[in-house]
Amino acid sequence: MNEPTETIDTIVLGASGYVAGELFRWISGHPRLELVAATSESQAGNTLESVFPHLQSTFGDQSFCSLEDLPDTLEKASGPLAVFSAARHGASAALVKQLLASVNGNADVHVVDLSADFRYSSAEAYEAVYGSPHGATELLSEFSSALPEHTTQTPRHVGHPGCFATALLLTAVPLLKLGIVEPDLYAVGITGSTGSGREPKATTHHPLRQSNLFAYAPLAHRHVPEVTAITERVSGVKPALHFIPHSGPFARGIHMTVQGKLQAELDRDAIASELETFYASSPFVRVVSGTPKLKDVVGSNYAHLGVACEGDTVAVFSTIDNLTKGAAGGGVQWMNRLLGFPETMGLTLSGPGWI
């Protein structure tokens, strides 16, 4: 029997930032996702190519629209509808709420939110971190947040973990779930400037960022409670996470180092073998010999892990592309599962290597 080939109408909300541009790149090469609308209040009426010249006429003369222009598109929707929200945290929830209200049950809708708005199970937990009311508390119970590698569940909607969170979870979850380390973890992560978003900031200004390296929000980063909550839920162990993020002098990628104290006598090879077994059915996660390098994963949806060990201390390294595995690619991977497709569909392209 031939596999069905019908395309799925796909909408991107908040579609003018870096994550959205990366989403468009993966949607354009996906055999089953077809972009039918991209909303942006600031770019409504402009073509996608005018905002993202690297897309090179991929979507022809397709233009951004406002959210108010969506009803015509939604009225035509009868089959499954794939929705990605790439809006900033604090704004995404309201956009998702408005879209779901507009659909009004006429289509089978799945949402993958790439902001922080649906990563917490309660409004109180969200508000404690972000300091503002949640924009759609009634929808929180319909969303689940985890990496697809760490759960077999297929929820209706997903709040994809953040980019730093992704790199941390890939290391912390197996270390704790397998009982390799004590639940007291120390982590240092270095991220590229695209992690700060498209709007210029002092910390992303090229003269400051180029040839520079500096920590920010040390031991107080907003992803820590997110990682702690998700890790406890999927591993059964609540860690104490001591995380220091850094701004790196490159555009894309995250290099993460997580250290912990071993609970048993294990050497490097034994720990690497445990991680390989843990991720044996996860096609995008690979354990490498030596230490992983950013250029081996940037531009792809792959994550590389490496292990070092001395005495009772273990360090596990993870490298990902913050825009891909940490956001757009991980979001497409989740959408594939929600729609019943193979998780690898449209995502197996290797990175360019020498960028």
Q: In what order do the strands lie in the sheet with 80-85?
A: 33-38, 8-13, 80-85, 108-113, 157-159, 143-144
In angstroms, the CA 169 to CA 149 distance is 10
Q: Are 302 and 325 in contact (CB under 8 A)?
A: yes
Distance CA 2, CA 63 (A): 34
Side chain identity, residue 35: L
Q: Which of 13, 163, 254, 307 is catalytic?
A: 163
Which among 161, 39, 28, 56 has a CA at the least distance from the CA of 94?
39
The beta strand positions in the chain, using DSSP E, are 8-13, 33-38, 80-85, 108-113, 143-144, 157-159, 184-191, 214-215, 240-247, 254-261, 285-287, 303-310, 313-320
The dihedral sign for the CA sequence 73, 79, 84, 89: positive
163 catalytic? Reply is yes
The token duo for 279 is 């991720």
Active site residues: 163
